Amino acid sequence: MQFTSLYKGLTLSVFGLSALAAPALADDAASASHNGTPASRHAKYEARKQHRAFHHLSEHGQLAMASILDAQQFLANGQNSKAVDALHSASTHLDAAAKAREQFTAAEADLHPAPQHPVSSTHKAQSGPTDWIPVGGEVIATDMLEPSKKSAIATANAQLKAGQTQQAAQTLQVVGQDIDFIIALAPLAQLQGYVNRATTFAEGNNADAAKVALNDALNTLVFVSENVVTEATSSAAAKKKH
């Protein structure tokens, strides 16, 4: 499934992702203090941009999606009780994500899905203002790269899949500013509804219906550039001030 591929390319904790950017920030700051060159200032800006991208991700949103994917696997393996536990965990994390700062409101029509990850063929767009939570991400190349940098991005994503955040941080340093981030957004209320439905079915030992509910949940996701999330959250913050 499309989302599974993207999500497994992301460490499960926003704190791990923030740590990923920290070495680059420290190195760039040190470099700038020594020579103050335009190149070092640009590198520092790019490092801060990476940190901002990681900062957008919702820790509880990511953990909720991890639990949903676990529940899906448990149901496929006939482990119904484990699926129920995973779904309860997903619900708890979604409740927490609803109260966290990463949640924002926007119309889906304004999100502009990333071409690298079009929505599911069975996706039904949300109408009107919708509450979204960022639940996953992926490092991608933004420009034509030399083979060594392309290889580094592939290696970094593989390391992130394995939860090796420090190793991935070192790998990405050779790529520099030639990377971008795709963020997976989930409509909060709709996702909660599908998880609740799946839980009810799983508790009633109706695994097939629970699987359908979880597939419907994953089909609500929209994949956008990190810049889209930055603009949406900035707009939402500005409206709150007024």
Domain range annotation of the chain? 2-241
| Residue among 238, 241, 237, 242 nearest 56 (CA) | 237
How far apart are the C-alpha atoms of 115 and 224, rounded to whole Å? 8
DSSP for 96-135, written as a single string? HHHTSTT-EEEEGGGT---TTSPPPTT--PPPSEEEEEEE
Q: Is the pLDDT of residue 24 over 50?
A: no
Token code pair at residue 92: 């708890």
The mean pLDDT value for 164-182 works out to 71
For the chain, the average pLDDT equals 75
**Between 181 and 113, where is the model more confident?**
113
pLDDT digit string (tens) for 123-143? 989 989 999 998 877 777 766
Task: Give the model's pLDDT for residue 238.
Answer: 59
Do 157 and 131 form a contact (C-beta atoms < 8 A)?
no
Which amino acid type is present at position 58?
S
pLDDT digit string (tens) for 91-127? 999 999 998 777 888 999 888 888 878 888 889 899 8
The mean pLDDT value for 27-50 works out to 43
- Percentage of the chain modeled with pLDDT above 90: 34
Tally of CA atoms within 13 A in the half-sphere of 212 that contains its CB: 7
Length of the chain: 242
Give me the phi and psi of 74, to 5 degrees please.
-60, -45
Q: Is the pLDDT of residue 63 over 60?
A: yes
Q: Tokens 């508790």 map to which residue?
A: 203
10 Å Cβ neighbour count for 110?
Answer: 12
Task: Give the model's pLDDT for residue 133.
Answer: 92
Do 10 and 134 form a contact (C-beta atoms < 8 A)?
no
